[in-house]
Structure 1
Amino acid sequence: MINDPFARLNLDREVLSVSQLNNRARLLLEDVFASIWVEGEISNLARPASGHIYFTLKDSQAQVRCALFRQNAARVRQALRDGLAVKVRGKVSLFEGRGDYQLILDAVEPAGDGALRLAFEALKEKLSAEGLFATERKLALPAHPKRIGIVTSPTGAVIRDIISVFRRRAPQVQLNLIPTAVQGREATAQIVRALQLADAQGFDALILARGGGSLEDLWCFNEEAVARAVAACVTPIVSAVGHE
């Protein structure tokens, strides 16, 4: 890796090939703009079968191409569409084969300070007006539960932590895992289904859990469908989201 891509470049004498020019331009861009936030509007959104997402980010005077590769695309909770205002984080790079300047992204968020929090507060106000959070609706937790259902991911640290605590403090309690995704596009529907399955199994109580994360990572637990699924359960539920 060349720390200074121009360290051996004599602008008066050296003649570069196109490949050399693009390579040095890419190294310079990635070094100077290693991680930046940019705000704009999505256009020309494309979702090929590879799972990657490509779009153009634009404002009233300019545009830049963006690439969101599959692993990072799976973590984006916002439904992306043309015309959506977003903030994106990534590095500036250059596709050497075509000489195209672009942003390689690792995060996409709704534009506007606290956009997710505003959406959360709006939904909370709506559901509160319906009485979903009223004190009289809350179910008392059993003093000595015998069977507890745990709605969480089967592969995360959460289930191991919960099992460890129960083994130390209440080894007589039977724990039953009801697996679900806890992040990503499919998580909301899976959480709702897991709650319905768990509620039908006659547990003394349920624990809905996942580890910590950003507001975006945890957003599936703020969805209206999940709130209504919790409210519909006849089994007492403990929320352990961001469990530590």
Structure 2
Amino acid sequence: MQTSDPLQPQLPQRDVISVSQLNRRARQLLETHMALLWVEGEISNFARPSSGHWYFTLKDANAQVKCAMFRNRNQRVRNVPQQGQQVLLRARVSLYEGRGDYQLIVEHMEDAGEGALQRAFEALKAQLHQEGLFDPAYKKPLPALPEHIGVITSPTGAAIRDILHVLARRFPSIPVSIFPVAVQGAEAAGQIVKALHNANQQSSCDLLIVGRGGGSLEDLWPFNEEIVARAIFDSRIPVISAVGHEVDITISDYVADVRAPTPSAAAEVCTPNGQEMLQQFYGYEALLEDSMARRLSRAQERLTAFSSRLQHPRQRLQAQAQHLDNLEIRLRQNIQRMLQQQGQQLRGLTAHHDSLNPKKALAQHQKQLSYLEQRLKTGIQHQLKTARQALGKSSALLDSVSPLNILQRGYTVTTDNKGQVIRSSEALQTGDTIVTRLAKGSVESTVTKTGV
């Protein structure tokens, strides 16, 4: 048993950790004390293994850092990054414990600068143009007077205020439905597509305005998204695109049925001027009143003329009564004359009928019928007797020449399996089946040999 030397100085207790523990503490320290960062740099050493994760180095002129972007995040990136591409990353700082490598875990990636957005804009524009989404043949006409307008925009932006102000000034009786959406940011495109789908599902609107106020290219980018362009193209309801200011052009403007330079202009385009229409109605009202006055004046003149020619009803009734009496007298006379004529015809027909009494003719016909019946019976009996005699002679003759009688004397008749009489051995071959008819019964044989 060892004992400590009281003269030997005591060493402090050591807190020893493993390399794994060190790296774990370093990782936890980095991830806990450093929030999400935006980092810009150039991609190099890009690797894309079968797992679907991305590994690369982000560098600038003086330094570099390793990066990892896992599959559930990189699936949201529109295009796979290229070697040397300048990108902007949103990432959190971490450490790969296995090698002790300091690295960035990337949550979001985009091409750095507006130049990248412009290139993406031109690429999508060319693609959709080639597919025919900009073809004027697919543009739907706007209704002359919309019955219900739908507006897809931010409910708190200046665009909706401008649109409602113009609609209230030009034609306030048209109902307006607002489909609230975000008009910038990552969620905006999906909300715009959903609003277009809902508006088409409800089918209450016959015109849609999609848009927002002005902003940078990045602010307006949701209206350059492919999903938004295809949703506008697929809409059964006509769509007006009103995005930004007059100088701003988006993919939505190309695909929409009508492009308005501003949201206020969209409200102008889709509605008639209510004051002008009201003035037209006042003019039509004056014309209608003048036309009705002229028609009433002509009707009054015709009424006066008819009144002067109008006869008192008593006079017309007396004339009609006299005419009715004359018709009654003539009817009675005609009925009397017709009855006399019909009586004379009836008496003549009765006399003629008596002269043609059928009893005498019937007795003669019955006598003749009895005579003919007797002759028919006699003739039938004679014919039957003659036929029986002829039948007996024919039967005797048939028996005398019947081959069956020949069979009774020991002769036979041979046929093939089809019933054809065989008259020569040349008609047979070895293996054929033949049938021999005897006086009583028949015999079936197989040919084993033939000869002349």
| TM-score (norm: length of structure 2) | 0.33
Could you list the per-position Cα deviations for residues 93-123 of structure 1 after superposition, in whole angstroms to 9, with x for gaps in the alignment?
xxxxxxxxxxxxxxx9733672211111111
Once residues 201 and 146 of structure 1 are traced to their aligned partners in structure 2, the CA distance between those partners, rounded to angstroms, is 14
Within 5 Å, give how 1:100-139 maps onto structure 2: 110-111=111-112, 114-139=115-140
Q: Counting helix residues as a fraction of each chain, which structure ranks higher?
A: 2
Contact 2:152 2:209 in 1 (8 A): yes
Contact 2:151 2:177 in 1 (8 A): yes
Q: CA deviation at 1:130?
A: 1.1
Gaps of 5+ in 2: 1-30, 42-58, 66-76, 90-108, 245-261, 264-452
Once residues 116 and 236 of structure 1 are traced to their aligned partners in structure 2, the CA distance between those partners, rounded to angstroms, is 28
Does the C-alpha gap of structure 1 residues 170 and 126 become closer, same or farther in structure 2, counting only changes over 3 Å?
Answer: same
Does the C-alpha gap of structure 1 residues 117 and 146 become closer, same or farther in structure 2, counting only changes over 3 Å?
Answer: same
Within 5 Å, give how 1:11-30 maps onto structure 2: none
Gaps of 5+ in 1: 1-47, 66-77, 89-107
- Counterpart position of 1:3: none
Once residues 206 and 129 of structure 1 are traced to their aligned partners in structure 2, the CA distance between those partners, rounded to angstroms, is 25
Within the candidate set 14, 36, 47, 1:53 is matched to 36
Within the candidate set 198, 220, 223, 1:221 is matched to 223
Does the C-alpha gap of structure 1 residues 213 and 56 become closer, same or farther in structure 2, counting only changes over 3 Å?
Answer: closer
The structure whose RCO (Cα within 8 Å, separation 6+) is larger is: 1
Does the C-alpha gap of structure 1 residues 64 and 159 become closer, same or farther in structure 2, counting only changes over 3 Å?
Answer: farther
Once residues 148 and 54 of structure 1 are traced to their aligned partners in structure 2, the CA distance between those partners, rounded to angstroms, is 43
Once residues 63 and 170 of structure 1 are traced to their aligned partners in structure 2, the CA distance between those partners, rounded to angstroms, is 63
Give the fraction of aligned pairs with identical amino acids, expressed as a percent.
48
Could you list the per-position Cα deviations for residues 201-221 of structure 1 after superposition, in whole angstroms to 9, with x for gaps in the alignment?
221100001110000100011
Contact 1:56 1:63 in 2 (8 A): no
Does the C-alpha gap of structure 1 residues 177 and 55 become closer, same or farther in structure 2, counting only changes over 3 Å?
Answer: closer
- Counterpart position of 2:239: 237
Question: Which has more radius of gyration?
Answer: 2
Matching residue's letter, 1:240: A
Once residues 164 and 113 of structure 1 are traced to their aligned partners in structure 2, the CA distance between those partners, rounded to angstroms, is 34
Within 5 Å, give how 1:1-244 maps onto structure 2: 53-58=36-41, 59-63=59-63, 85-86=86-87, 110-111=111-112, 114-202=115-203, 203-242=205-244, 243=262
Q: Counting strand residues as a fraction of each chain, which structure ranks higher?
A: 1
Does the C-alpha gap of structure 1 residues 217 and 145 become closer, same or farther in structure 2, counting only changes over 3 Å?
Answer: same
Q: Report how many aligned residue pairs link the two structures.
A: 165
Could you list the per-position Cα deviations for residues 54-80 of structure 1 after superposition, in whole angstroms to 9, with x for gaps in the alignment?
144444432499xxxxxxxxxxxx88x
Once residues 196 and 57 of structure 1 are traced to their aligned partners in structure 2, the CA distance between those partners, rounded to angstroms, is 37
Once residues 192 and 236 of structure 2 are traced to their aligned partners in structure 1, the CA distance between those partners, rounded to angstroms, is 16
Does the C-alpha gap of structure 1 residues 238 and 55 become closer, same or farther in structure 2, counting only changes over 3 Å?
Answer: closer
Could you list the per-position Cα deviations for residues 186-213 of structure 1 after superposition, in whole angstroms to 9, with x for gaps in the alignment?
1111110001011222211000011100
Contact 1:56 1:64 in 2 (8 A): no
Matching residue's letter, 1:234: R
Aligned to 1:194, what secondary structure does the other structure show? Answer: helix
| TM-score (norm: length of structure 1) | 0.59
Matching residue's letter, 1:115: A
Once residues 158 and 60 of structure 1 are traced to their aligned partners in structure 2, the CA distance between those partners, rounded to angstroms, is 41
Once residues 127 and 113 of structure 1 are traced to their aligned partners in structure 2, the CA distance between those partners, rounded to angstroms, is 21
Aligned to 1:145, what secondary structure does the other structure show? Answer: coil
